[in-house]
Structures are given as structure tokens and as C-alpha cells.
């Protein structure tokens, strides 16, 4: 069983996002795992994060301001894999930093560092050739995004070549701002699950345990990002205990959700 399959087999999963190089990355990653996160997304900072809201934009600039490089990020990933052999790790970011040394180089580094999957915000299925074939050849899952604007005609293209899990972006917008209505999330997840066997995780705008629990009743996973970024922005290098505590409230809410629903 892959790490993803295992992580999603135990009921709804908590998927957490932090930006590499923002705060004490190793300590925060450990805190996420200790708090009960099931899947970790590590953001690759980029100068021009055009799908992100103010919180993650600022995190990108903080990380780059401290001189975070791609080599540093793979260093974090490899060290994480050594400390946590079973927790799935995803790199999330933008096309240019992922492809600038060639997609084969990037895919090989991912495999070497024990990265399970990659989310690239600005490579839609139409441009799959840019990165997808290299990742699949290296045994790294390409995690695709579906959105409220992804219609039935497009969905098969989005799913073609997708792996790991399907990330449903619940609002047409940027990260960290408004949350979608619960009913629209339920409808969308039902539609997506009818079209794929991949687990469906829902993200964008999820900030509280209550929201997370509601989504966990219908989805296979809940993604929380900007709320962690806010904690790191507030506490800087000493954020880890706060990250762990917040992770635990989310994990308890999500992991309890299915049992209550059942």
C-alpha cells in the first residue's frame, strides 16, 4: 500500500500545508505529525504566487527573504522522510521553480528525497507534458486540482494522469479567504467521487475545526493551510508548540467526524 493509500484508509484525513523556509520548518513539520496530521504539504516558495492570498504570499516572501533555495527544500523533505517513514509528503508550488532545471531533474530529486506527490498550481492538464511524464516515470504522484469551474466535460482530462488524491479547490478564488457553502462542497465531492477512485480532499478557506469536521463528513480529506501560516507568522521560530496544538484540534474534529456521522 502506498503512503497515500494508507493515510486515507483510516477514515477522513487531515492534510496540512506550510511553506518551506518560513519559520523553523523541521520543528513545524514534526509538530504537524505529532498533532495528528495525516498528509503533509510543503509549499515551495515563489516570488509570484498568483493563486495565493495575502497570508501565503507573505510566507513566500519571508521564506525567500531568508534565502530558502530549492536545494534547501529537498533537504527538508529528505530529513522529514528519515524522521517520519510513513507520513505522506507532498511538494506544492508553481511551475517555474519546479521545471527550471528540467522536469526530469525535479522528479528525480523528489524520488530521492522520499516525496510522494507534487501539486503544481499553474500546470493544468493541457500542459501535462511539462511535468507529468517525468513525475510518473519517477514514481511520484501528480496530484491534480479540481475547482467549481471544472465541468463534467473537463473532469476526465483532469483525472487522466492524476495520482495520490484529488484536491478539490472549493472556491473559485485564492487561498485563505472565504469558505464555500457546505451544500456546494457536498454536491461537488459527490460528483468527483462518482468519477474517480482517488480520495478527494477539500481545501481553500478552511480555518476552523468546525468547518473541517463538517467537510470531513463527506470528503476523504480536509486541507488546512493559511491558518497554519498565520500561526507561524505570529510566533516565528517558536511556532511549533502552537502548530501542534492547533493541529490536534483539527485532527480530533476530523477524525471524530466520521464516527459521529455513522
Dump the DSSP string for 73-123. HHHHHHHHHHH-TTS-EEEEE-HHHHHTT-HHHHHHHHHHHT--EEEETT-
52: annotated active-site residue: yes
- Give the nearest distance from C-beta 155 to other proteins in angstroms: 11
Q: Which is nearer to other proteins, 13 or 123 (CB)?
A: 123
The three cell numbers of residue 197 are 477512485
Q: Which is nearer to other proteins, 110 or 257 (CB)?
A: 110
- 184 touches other proteins by CB under 8 A: no
Nearby residues of 98 by Cβ (< 8 Å), 6 or more positions away: 44, 91, 106, 118, 120, 131
- Give the nearest distance from C-beta 121 to other proteins in angstroms: 6
- 181 touches other proteins by CB under 8 A: no
Q: Which of 22, 30, 38, 41 is catalytic?
A: 41
**Binder among 6, 9, 69, 184 for other proteins (CB under 8 A):** 69
- 158 touches other proteins by CB under 8 A: yes
Reported in sequence order, the residue ranges of 122-161 that DSSP labels E, i.e. its strands, are 141-142, 145-146
**Would you tell me the crossing angle of helices 209-216 and 182-195 to the nearest 10 degrees?**
40
- Give the nearest distance from C-beta 241 to other proteins in angstroms: 30
48: annotated active-site residue: no
Q: What is the 3-state secondary structure (H, E, C) of 204-228?
A: CCCCCHHHHHHHHCCCCEEEECHHH
CB 49 within 8 A of CB 75: no
- 174 touches other proteins by CB under 8 A: yes
Interface with other proteins: number of residues (CB under 8 A): 44
Q: How far apart are CA 34 and CA 57, in angstroms?
A: 26
Collapsing DSSP to helix, strand or coil, 237 comes out as helix
- 121 touches other proteins by CB under 8 A: yes
- 156 touches other proteins by CB under 8 A: no
Number of helical (H) and strand (E) elements in the chain, helices listed first: 12, 9
**Binder among 137, 172, 238, 260 for other proteins (CB under 8 A):** 172
Question: What residues are labeled active site?
Answer: 41, 52
Binding site for other proteins (CB under 8 A): 46-54, 57, 61, 64, 69-70, 94-100, 121-124, 126-127, 130, 144-151, 154, 158, 169, 171-174, 177
Amino acid at each position: 500500500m502506498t503512503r497515500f493509500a494508507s493515510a486515507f484508509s483510516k477514515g477522513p484525513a487531515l492534510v496540512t500545508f506550510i511553506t518551506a523556509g518560513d519559520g523553523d520548518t523541521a520543528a513545524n513539520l514534526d509538530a504537524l505529525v505529532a498533532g495528528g496530521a495525516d498528509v503533509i504539504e510543503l509549499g515551495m516558495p515563489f516570488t509570484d504566487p498568483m493563486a495565493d492570498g495575502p497570508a501565503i504570499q507573505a510566507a513566500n516572501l519571508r521564506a525567500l527573504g531568508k534565502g530558502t533555495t530549492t536545494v534547501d527544500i529537498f533537504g527538508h523533505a529528505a530529513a522529514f522522510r528519515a524522521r517520519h517513514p510513513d507520513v505522506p509528503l507532498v511538494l506544492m508550488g508553481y511551475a517555474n521553480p519546479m521545471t527550471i532545471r528540467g522536469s526530469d531533474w525535479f522528479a528525480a530529486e523528489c524520488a530521492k528525497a522520499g516525496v510522494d506527490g507534487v501539486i503544481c498550481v499553474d500546470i493544468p492538464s493541457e500542459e501535462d507534458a511539462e511535468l507529468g511524464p517525468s513525475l510518473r516515470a519517477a514514481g511520484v504522484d501528480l496530484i491534480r486540482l479540481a475547482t467549481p469551474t471544472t465541468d463534467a466535460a473537463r473532469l476526465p482530462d483532469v483525472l487522466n494522469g492524476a495520482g495520490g488524491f484529488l484536491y478539490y479547490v472549493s472556491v473559485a478564488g485564492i487561498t485563505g479567504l472565504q469558505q464555500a457553502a457546505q451544500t456546494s462542497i457536498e454536491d461537488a465531492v459527490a460528483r468527483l467521487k462518482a468519477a474517480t477512485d482517488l480520495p478527494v480532499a477539500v481545501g481553500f478557506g478552511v480555518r476552523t475545526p468546525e468547518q473541517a469536521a463538517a467537510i470531513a463528513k463527506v470528503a476523504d480529506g480536509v486541507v488546512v493551510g493559511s491558518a497554519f501560516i498565520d500561526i507561524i507568522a505570529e510566533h516565528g521560530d517558536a511556532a511549533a508548540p502552537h502548530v501542534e496544538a492547533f493541529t490536534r484540534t483539527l485532527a480530533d474534529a476530523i477524525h471524530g467526524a466520521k464516527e459521529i456521522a455513522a
